[in-house]
């Protein structure tokens, strides 16, 4: 690949748009069937701030770059369909990145298991609901002799101080200590309020896999609930509060009794707070690393904005309604979770391609494209697509035992951005690597295509 072509892709990316991390990176995850009971009725939840105003418009790309011939692209698509490595159930959508014209439609309106490609949906839904500049606030509220650590949805808190672009539990403790000393207090009781989200903390159907691939969905955690030795903490909100308490005690504020769960009373007073990285950065992180836990949090933020219960069921309704309100085709969409761990998650290639095209053309959704891994360079594509596609493809990966997907944007050899989504969900057991190789070969053909 020439330096000029790489520079061209960089320019298009800027102008046009302006764990399962471990899972997708390793391409290993079990398929799971839903067998557990329905989600219970929700409790009340607090309000959330309104969306940020839209950023200013940015220029469109050069419309004179040549569009590939749809017949040639269709021939490439049918070549992929005939590849025995990919299985019998495949859907493909290719859209012109400039005009939005459909160029390839092979079962594009048929639902398939998208695996982790489904993370594109809560990502764009949250940006639409709140705006990329929105931040999540973790607060400390004081009442009588107790301080309450209140989760606001930021599960990317860091433990150490001075972490760039992340709120720190240590800095929150520092501010709390300063406030308590100002009041002449040297002893407190400590509680955690994680009532922002409701319903079960694990999706019905995850069935015991969750601690390997996703944290219990709570509105407060350090590093998405990950444990240093691998896996996820069984109670990340409590674990974060324990670390917070250790910092208080190290600074001379005695913490008496056991940490308890409690809703901060209405008369409590805020004495300290920290804010997350902007929502756009959380979206980028989610897509680049395929973070299951953060994807679920993003979906619950949509639910909170749109008046749904912030649970698995409420988040599914909210994300679907938000996408439909954006004019996207949600026919056949099923979201028993919003990160793609379940084979029952269903989405069409057309919807995923529409989401990516919207991200490519509307600066409000810049982070959806900017967060995609770059072929052979970053995230879950770091070790994939190292031929013609290297550096000129950005895409979201998806991997389950019998399903694989890739949804993204490719710059052709003649400089035309194409949006694509390919979903295959009857991959032979043990054949995931071969199916991914077949898709990668096809994407490489798109990248090399003049195709006029």
| Segment 395-414, tens digit of pLDDT | 999 999 999 999 999 999 88
Element holding 102 (H helix, E strand): strand 102-106
Q: pLDDT confidence of 8, banded at 50, 70, 90? A: very low
Q: pLDDT confidence of 452, banded at 50, 70, 90? A: confident
Give yes or no for residue 252 having a pLDDT over 80: yes
Phi and psi for 110 in degrees, rounded to 5?
-100, 130
- Per-residue model confidence (pLDDT) at position 167: 92
| CA distances in angstroms from 378 to 10, 17, 248, 279, listed in the order given | 14, 19, 38, 20
Q: Where are the domains of the chain?
A: 3-132+280-448, 137-277
Q: Are 368 and 127 in contact (CB under 8 A)?
A: yes
- Per-residue model confidence (pLDDT) at position 449: 87
Give yes or no for residue 52 having a pLDDT over 70: no
Least confident of 5-19, 245-259, 369-383, 400-414: 5-19
CA geometry: angle at 372 spanning 424 and 61, to 5°? 105
Class of domain 137-277: alpha beta
Q: Are 355 and 128 in contact (CB under 8 A)?
A: no
Catalytic residue numbers read: 116, 119, 290
- Per-residue model confidence (pLDDT) at position 314: 98
Give yes or no for residue 309 having a pLDDT over 90: yes
Q: Could you read off the pLDDT of 28-44 as tens digits, one per residue? A: 343 333 333 333 333 33
Q: Could you read off the pLDDT of 406-435 as tens digits, one per residue? A: 999 999 988 899 999 999 999 999 999 999
- Between 1.10.260.40, 2.102.10.10, 3.40.710.10, 3.30.1490.190, what CATH number should domain 3-132+280-448 receive? 3.40.710.10
Please list, in sequence order, all residues whose beta carbon lies within 8 angstroms of the beta carbon of residue 183, skipping any fewer than 6 positions away. Answer: none
Q: pLDDT confidence of 20, banded at 50, 70, 90? A: very low
- Per-residue model confidence (pLDDT) at position 211: 67
Q: Could you read off the pLDDT of 168-217 as tens digits, one per residue? A: 999 999 999 999 999 999 999 999 999 999 999 999 888 766 668 999 99
Segment 218-242 shows an average pLDDT of: 96
> Which ranges of 18-161 would DSSP assign to H, the alpha helix?
21-26, 70-81, 120-130
Is residue 257 packed enough to be buried (19+ CB in 10 Å), middle (13-18) or exposed (0-12)?
Answer: exposed
């Amino acid at each position: 690949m020439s330096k000029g072509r790489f520079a061209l892709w960089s320019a298009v990316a800027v102008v046009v748009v302006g764990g399962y991390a471990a899972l997708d990176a390793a391409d290993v995850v079990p398929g799971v069937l839903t067998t557990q009971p329905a989600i219970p009725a929700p409790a009340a939840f607090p309000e959330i701030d309104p969306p940020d105003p839209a950023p200013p418009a940015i220029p469109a790309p050069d419309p004179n770059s040549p569009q590939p011939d749809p017949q040639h692209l269709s021939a490439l698509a049918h070549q992929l369909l005939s590849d025995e490595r990919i299985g019998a159930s495949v859907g493909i959508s290719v859209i012109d990145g400039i005009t939005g014209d459909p160029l390839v439609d092979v079962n594009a309106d048929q639902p398939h298991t998208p695996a982790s490609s489904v993370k594109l949906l809560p990502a764009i839904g949250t940006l639409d609901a709140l705006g990329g500049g929105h931040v999540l606030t973790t607060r400390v509220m004081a009442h009588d002799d107790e301080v309450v650590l209140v989760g606001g949805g930021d599960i990317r808190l860091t433990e150490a101080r001075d972490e760039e672009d992340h709120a720190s539990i240590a800095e929150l403790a520092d501010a709390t200590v300063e406030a308590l000393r100002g009041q002449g207090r040297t002893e407190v009781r400590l509680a955690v309020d994680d009532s922002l989200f409701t319903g079960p903390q694990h999706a019905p159907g995850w069935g015991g896999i969750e601690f390997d691939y996703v944290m219990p969905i709570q509105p407060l955690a350090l590093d998405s609930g990950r444990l240093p030795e691998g896996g996820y903490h069984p109670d990340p909100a409590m674990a974060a509060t324990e670390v917070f308490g250790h910092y208080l005690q190290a600074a001379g504020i005695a913490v008496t009794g056991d940490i308890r769960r409690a809703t901060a009373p209405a008369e409590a007073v805020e004495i300290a707070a920290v804010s997350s990285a902007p929502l756009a950065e959380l979206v980028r992180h989610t897509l680049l690393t395929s973070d299951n836990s953060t994807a679920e949090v993003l979906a619950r933020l949509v639910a909170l904005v749109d008046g749904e219960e912030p649970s698995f069921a409420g988040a599914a309704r909210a994300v679907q309604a938000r996408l439909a309100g954006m004019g996207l085709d949600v026919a056949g969409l099923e979201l028993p979770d919003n990160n793609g761990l379940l084979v029952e998650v269903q989405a069409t290639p057309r919807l995923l391609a529409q989401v990516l095209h919207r991200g490519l053309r509307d600066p409000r959704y810049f982070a959806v494209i900017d967060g995609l891994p770059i072929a052979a360079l970053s995230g879950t594509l770091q070790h994939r697509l190292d031929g013609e596609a290297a550096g000129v493809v950005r895409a979201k990966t998806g991997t389950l035992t019998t399903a694989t997907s890739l949804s993204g944007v490719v710059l052709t050899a003649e400089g035309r951005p194409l949006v694509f989504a390919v979903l295959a969900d009857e991959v032979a057991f043990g054949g995931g690597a071969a199916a991914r190789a077949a898709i990668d070969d096809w994407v490489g053909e798109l990248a090399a295509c003049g195709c006029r």
